[in-house]
Amino acid sequence: MVSRKLAERRATLEKLFEEAGCTGESLTSQKVRSSKEPNVICTLKGNEADAGAIVVGGHFDLVDYGMGAVDDWSGAVLLPSLYQSLKSAPRKHDFVFIAFAAEETGLNGSHEYVRKLTREQRGAIRAMVNLECLGMTPPKVWASRADPSLLEAYWKVVAALKLQMFGVNVERVGDDDTHPFRDAKIPTISIHSITQETFPILHSKRDQVAAIHPEMYYDAYRVAATLLAYLDTTQ
C-alpha cells in the first residue's frame, strides 16, 4: 500500500530497511532545512577502506495530486531491496542508500545531503545512481545527463540482462536529485521509465499503483541491482 502521508512513507521505508537488515547505526536520518521530514539514510559498509562510496537515491515526497506511487515511491521503495541484494555478497565500496525528502519542493533533501558532505567525503563518492519514476514502461536512462562511464556501464548491464536499450532524455520533466551531485562533480546516472506517453501521468491523479507494470518494475530492479554490483567491481 502506498500512503500519501509523508510521515507514513518515511516510517514504511525505515521498517523495510530494518527488515532488510539495515539497523542500528547503519540506519540514520538527516534533518533537511525547510522540510518536516528528514532524509533516510542506510549505509552498507564495504571491505576496502580506499574504495570510496556509491550513493543510491530515490525521493519519498510527492506533489498534491495522485498517490505519488510512480513519482517517486517506485524509486524510494526499491532502496531496501537493493540494499538486500548487495548485502548478500562481499563488496569493496560503501553503499549509501538515501530516501530523499523534499525533492518536489526544490531538491531540498539532495541539496542538504551534498552540502553537508566534507570535501573528503565528496571526493570519495564514485557514483550516484538515482531511481526516478520506475515501472510505467521498461527501464530507461537519462542518457544526455549521465556520466559517460556510468552510461557505458549501464548499457553493458542492459545488454547482459538481454533487455532493450532505451535512452530517453527528460529535460522536460525539469530536474532530479542528481543535480546537486553533478554540481559537486560527482558522476551520476538516472534510471526512469518516462516517455512522451507516460509523462502526463506524473504530477496528476493518474499517478497510482495501477500505472506501474510489475514486470517492467522488476526489470528496473534487475537493472539497478546488476548495475550496482557491476559498479562495485569497476569504479
Residues that bind Zn ion (CB under 5 A): 71-72
Distance CA 133, CA 49 (A): 33
The minimum distance between CB 103 and Zn ion, in angstroms, equals 5
Query: Which of residues 71 and 147 has its CB atom nearest to Zn ion in the complex?
Result: 71
Query: Which of residues 46 and 75 has its CB atom nearest to Zn ion in the complex?
Result: 75
The minimum distance between CB 130 and Zn ion, in angstroms, equals 9
Query: Which of residues 84 and 195 has its CB atom nearest to Zn ion in the complex?
Result: 195
The minimum distance between CB 111 and Zn ion, in angstroms, equals 15
Query: Which of residues 74 and 235 has its CB atom nearest to Zn ion in the complex?
Result: 74
Query: Which of residues 72 and 219 has its CB atom nearest to Zn ion in the complex?
Result: 72
Distance CA 92, CA 54 (A): 10
The minimum distance between CB 117 and Zn ion, in angstroms, equals 22
Distance CA 55, CA 76 (A): 13
The minimum distance between CB 132 and Zn ion, in angstroms, equals 5
